[in-house]
Structure 1
């Protein structure tokens, strides 16, 4: 499974809003500058997040974007589903046997479980302890 730049940038944007939840709104430009990414590209991604009712915007001097729900109610899976065209860990092939389909299904289910049960709040509160256990060294 590979998450596209749309998915990563959408997650970056949502994490920025989650960190500031209840305190301030953020502009697309401020998050894009902070992350060193194109604000025009990020604006397209934010439109998808807004369409899925994950963010809301306010116009004016103190305007900007904010989460439309508390961080503990928004999952990474919701974010990826709103900005990614297709999230498939492994697709079965007609040549695959039952044992292979069993494995691909377990991988798909495990990834879905992580995405659907990891919230923005979980990510904001994570302090990095044990990070080496999750990193793959290639």
Structure 2
């Protein structure tokens, strides 16, 4: 599975807003500068997030973007669905038999399960040492 830059940048933007939820709003330009990405490209991605109802914006001196829901209610799968055209872990081929299709379906379902059950809060609260220990054994 490959996540495009749209998905990655959308996630960066949403994680930035999640880290500052209830504290301050952020402009697209400030987040783009912080992550060293094009503000024009990020603006297009944020438009998709806004259209999906994941973020809201306020104009004015104290304006900017903020999450439409608390980070613990915002799932990563929603973000990718809003900005990615297609999220496919493995595409089936007409040459695939029942066993291969069974495996591809299980992989797809596992990826969907992770995306649909991981919140932004989960991501900002993770224990880095715990993750590093887990990755050591894979």
TM-score, normalised to structure 1, is: 0.95
Task: State yes or no: 1:81 paired with 2:84.
Answer: no
Residue 122 (structure 1) aligns with: 122
> How far apart, in 2, do the equivalents of 1:112 and 1:55 lie?
22
Task: State yes or no: 1:105 paired with 2:100.
Answer: no
The C-alpha deviation readout for 1:3-38, integer Å capped at 9, x for no partner, is 000000000000000000011000001100110000
Residue 27 (structure 2) aligns with: 27
The alignment covers a number of residue pairs equal to 137
Moved over 4 A (4+): none
> How far apart, in 1, do the equivalents of 2:52 and 2:66 lie?
14
Unaligned runs of 5+ in 2: none
Structure whose residues are more often helix by fraction: 2
